[in-house]
Chain A
Amino acid sequence: MASQHTATAQAAQPLTLDGVTHSYGTGFAVDNVTLEVKGGELVALLGPSGCGKTTLLRIVAGFISQTNGKVIIGDRPIDVLPPNRREIGIVFQNYALFPHMTVAENIAYGLAARGESRAVQAERVAEMLATVRMEGFADRKPRQLSGGQQQRVALARALAIRPRILLLDEPFAALDKNLRLDMQIEIKRLQRQFALTAIMVTHDQDEAMSIADRIAVMSHGKIEQLGSPVEIYDEPATLFVNNFIGSSNLLKGRVVAVGPDGYRVELDSGAVWTLASKGRFETGAAVLVSVRPEQMVLADEAAPDRLPVALKLSLPIGGALIHDATAAGGEDIKIAVPRRPGALSTGPGTAFAALAPHARPSLFPATSS
């Protein structure tokens, strides 16, 4: 790729949020958030709407002044800077391309605002168009472009000012499903190429999982868990994270013994499992065991570590067969097993569910919700 060489190699700068708090009237939109995004890292702020992720993004951009706390780029606090002096690139949710300007004028805007010469502008526009592979579109108006093309222009416009930080606000929400993966790859490529420290706001866990280096799951203005996508998925720290990321089966149970290789948990549905957990539980504590559908298997015969389930439906979804079942304790559970080619859906019946050998269930105190 020719454009790979033309991009100036600059040291990526870390972005630090230090105790950032923002309150509207009585409530907290962002509640004491501390987060360090390493130079060149892409962190996704993931959470349901109203969790404070967008407010946090707008605080970093300078559109909102936080009530408390600091935003630091490199080792310089930027809180006193107005938005137009922060040198942060943003890709807005609906791209916010200037409708009365051509693609080239949109991309050149940041340079024109800085008083750069026309020659510099033209050169950078050409470079950016090549970077996002939109060479033939310089003279089009935004309304003449498809969603994906508009997003490329929005990216080019944001990158043209050579920002230190890139903020992405729900970047894929407005795109067709089959375009999303392409754009995810594109954004990841550009973020690496320009060595950008990036924050992406999204409510879509798949987006966060696919392109983020780390994910901060947010709820009620707080970061519930910060970790790599794999950590977040495999070792959710709280029940909220567990339920928000992926699907999982929650089984009620009680700790009956604490041993060297984990807690012995007797499920209400009958089975007894020995489970490792970072959490601390007393003997007799009521717990919730969370197991991902693909970490369970079905067997025909009863055993102490198998729980009897009533199969209701089974759906062949791609390479997996998803069984919808009810456990003896009343919990609805889903079990995903690899589908053998040619195998069809099975009908209702009784079976026994067990943990797959690689399974790593999570334990949560039953009182938390």
Chain B
Amino acid sequence: MSQRSTPADISFNLTVGLIAGIAILILVAPVLIVIATSFTTTQALRFPPPGLSLRWYGELFDPVRSAPIHTAALNSLWVAGWATVIGSVLSVLAALAITRVSRPSARALEASFLSPLVLPTLSYGLAALMFFSVLGIRPSLNLLIAGHLVVIAPFVFRTTLASLTQLDPALLEASANLGASRFYSFRRITLPLITPGIAAGAFLAFIASMDNVPVSLFLSTARTSMLPIRMWGMMESTLDVRIAAIAGVLIVAILVLMVVMDRFTGLTRRVSA
């Protein structure tokens, strides 16, 4: 930059830099602390760790002693996976339908599809529990999938709708003009062009389900325990260092997934847009 910075510029840059620095510290420091703690040699969930070892990771992956954690993790993955798949299909269909209807009704529908995002999830969890007991449906993983579905589908709906509204209508006209049926146009033009949006939303939805506490709190039982609930339970009873190890595994897994997603879909661009 050839322009000279004025004192005002410098103080502005300093302030912005300072605020950004504090924000990064608050966001990143806890993550670093929990990861560091997970490598401790001692029994205590304490920072800084007196020594470093993989002891607690060994403990975490022990198939016998950590069996309940493994069950909870598999339950969480199962629920998150199915809720994401079903939620994505439904959201894509809803978004496609909404882009075809007239403006005022589209607005109303859009708001109602997005309402789970603003609804207090805790209230929803309680309501769902009562609703399902009135219906006489017993708690199960399927029930958890249904419960999670409601709160995570809006993520996919939102990103898909954004992709669809950005789609140039001339492309679909060109496709029709070249002889393509509606379905052919959807398969070869619409779907490939909105896939990054769907994937970005599905990624967010999957993560939202993985660490959802409020809904799982009400809908899970001892037999259908979910990972965050199990972690909370361990925290309350034993202060087990394996909790830090679980956190470490989750953080690394999600970071890896995010890098992969970003490669394919430009996730960061979509979420920040």
Task: Please report the C-alpha to C-alpha distance between residue A361 and residue B175 in the assembled complex, in whole angstroms.
Answer: 48
What CA separation (Å) do A96 and B168 show in the bound complex?
8
Cβ proximity bits B179-207 to A, threshold 8 Å, 1 near / 0 not: 11100100011001100000000000000
How many Å from the CB of A135 to the closest CB on chain B?
Answer: 22
Given contacts A82-B176, A100-B193, whether A113 and B184 have CB atoms under 8 Å apart is: yes
Is there contact, CB below 8 Å, between B188 and A109?
yes
Residues of A within 8 A of B177 (CB): 61, 83-84, 86, 88-90
Query: Whole-angstrom distance from the CB of B177 to the nearest CB of chain A?
Result: 5
A100 touches B179 (CB 8 A): no
State A99–B193 Cα separation when bound (angstroms): 8
> In the assembly, what is the distance between CA of A158 and CA of B177, in Å?
9
Judged by a CB distance under 8 angstroms, whether B174 is at the interface is yes
Question: Are the C-beta atoms of B178 and A113 separated by less than 8 Å?
Answer: yes
A103 to B180, CA, bound (A): 18
Contact with B along A82-98 (1 / 0, CB 8 A): 11111111101110111
Closest CB in chain B relative to A163 CB, distance in Å: 9
Distance to closest chain B CB from A367 (angstroms): 43
- B173 interface residue (CB < 8 Å to A): yes
Interface pair B179/A92, CB less than 8 Å apart: no
Choose from B174, B179, B184 the contact partner of A98 (Cβ within 8 Å): B174
Distance A109 CA – B184 CA, assembled complex (angstroms)? 10
Bound complex: CA of A96 vs CA of B177, how far in Å? 11
Please report the C-alpha to C-alpha distance between residue A93 and residue B170 in the assembled complex, in whole angstroms: 9
Given A99-B193, A109-B188: A114 and B171 within 8 A (CB)?
no
> Which chain B positions have C-beta within 8 A of A157?
174, 178
Q: Which residues of A contact B193 (CB under 8 A)?
A: 99-100
Q: What CA separation (Å) do A157 and B175 show in the bound complex?
A: 11
Assess the A92–B181 pair: CB atoms within 8 A: no
> Interface centre among A63, A88, A93, A96, by most B CB within 10 Å?
A96
Residues of A140-171 contacting chain B, CB below 8 A: 157-158, 161
Name the residue on B nearest A112 (C-beta). Answer: B188
Residue contact A94 to B189, C-beta cutoff 8 Å: no
How far, in Å, is B43 (CB) from chain A's closest CB?
Answer: 55
Contact status A96-B181, CB under 8 Å: no
Contact A84–B173 (Cβ < 8 Å)? no
In contact, B189 and A113 (Cβ under 8 angstroms): no
Residues of A close to B189: CB separation below 8 A: 98
B224 nearest CB across to chain A (Å) = 42
A88–B168 CA distance with the chains assembled, in angstroms: 20
Q: How many angstroms from the CA of A96 to the CA of B176 in the assembled complex?
A: 12
Taking a contact as CB atoms closer than 8 A, the residue among A62, A100, A109 that contacts B175 in the complex is: A109
A293 within 8 A of B: no
- CB pair A85 B173 closer than 8 Å: no
Instruction: Report A93 CB to chain B, min CB distance, Å.
Output: 8
Whether A47 sits at the interface, judged by CB under 8 Å, is no
Cβ–Cβ contact A110 & B176, under 8 A? no
A94 and B169 alpha carbons, distance in the complex (Å): 12
Cβ-neighbour of B174 out of A82, A96, A100 (below 8 A): A96
CA A100 to CA B192, docked complex, whole Å: 8
Interface flags for A107-125 (1: CB within 8 Å of B; 0: not) read 0011011100000000000
Tell me the minimal C-beta distance from B41 to chain A in angstroms.
52
Residues of B within 8 A of A84 (CB): 176-181
Task: Indicate if the CB atoms of B178 and A92 lie closer than 8 Å.
Answer: no
Q: Which of A87, A97, A113 has the most CB of B within 10 A?
A: A113
| Pairwise interchain contact A161-B178, C-beta atoms closer than 8 A | yes
Task: Kindly state the separation between the CA atoms of A92 and B181 in the bound complex, as whole angstroms.
Answer: 19
> Which residues of chain A have C-beta atoms less than 8 A from B174's C-beta?
90, 92, 96-98, 157
Contacts of A109 in B (CB 8 A): 175, 178, 180, 188
Within B223-251, which residues are at the interface with A (CB < 8 Å)? none
**Most chain A CB neighbours (cut-off 10 Å) among B168, B170, B173, B178:** B178
In the assembled complex, how far is the CB of residue B81 from the closest CB belonging to chain A, in whole angstroms? 27
Contact, CB under 8 Å: A113 / B179:
yes
* B171 CB contacts on chain A under 8 angstroms: 96, 98
Query: Could you tell me the distance between the alpha carbons of A88 and B177 in the complex, rounded to whole angstroms?
Result: 7
- Which residue of chain B has its CB nearest to the CB of A99? B193
Cβ contacts B142-182/A at 8 Å (1 or 0 each): 00000000000000000000000000101101111111110
Complex formed: what's the CA distance from A92 to B169 in Å? Answer: 11
A residues less than 8 Å from B179 (CB atoms): 84-85, 87, 110, 113-114, 161
Expressed in whole angstroms, the Cα–Cα distance for A189 and B171 within the complex equals: 26
B172's nearest neighbour on chain A, judged by CB, is A96
A142 to B181, CA, bound (A): 23
Contact of A92 among B173, B184, B188 (CB under 8 A): B173
Nearest-Cβ distance from residue A337 to partner chain B, whole angstroms: 46
A82–B189 CA distance with the chains assembled, in angstroms:
18
Q: Which residues of A contact B (CB under 8 A)?
A: 61-63, 82-90, 92-94, 96-100, 109-110, 112-114, 157-158, 161
What 8 A-B pairs are tightest by C-beta distance, nearest first?
A110-B178, A113-B180, A96-B170, A96-B174, A83-B176, A113-B179, A84-B176, A90-B177
Interface pairs (21), CB distance under 8 Å: A61-B173, A82-B176, A83-B173, A83-B176, A83-B177, A84-B177, A84-B180, A85-B179, A87-B179, A89-B177, A90-B174, A92-B174, A98-B188, A99-B193, A110-B180, A113-B179, A113-B180, A113-B188, A114-B179, A157-B178, A161-B178
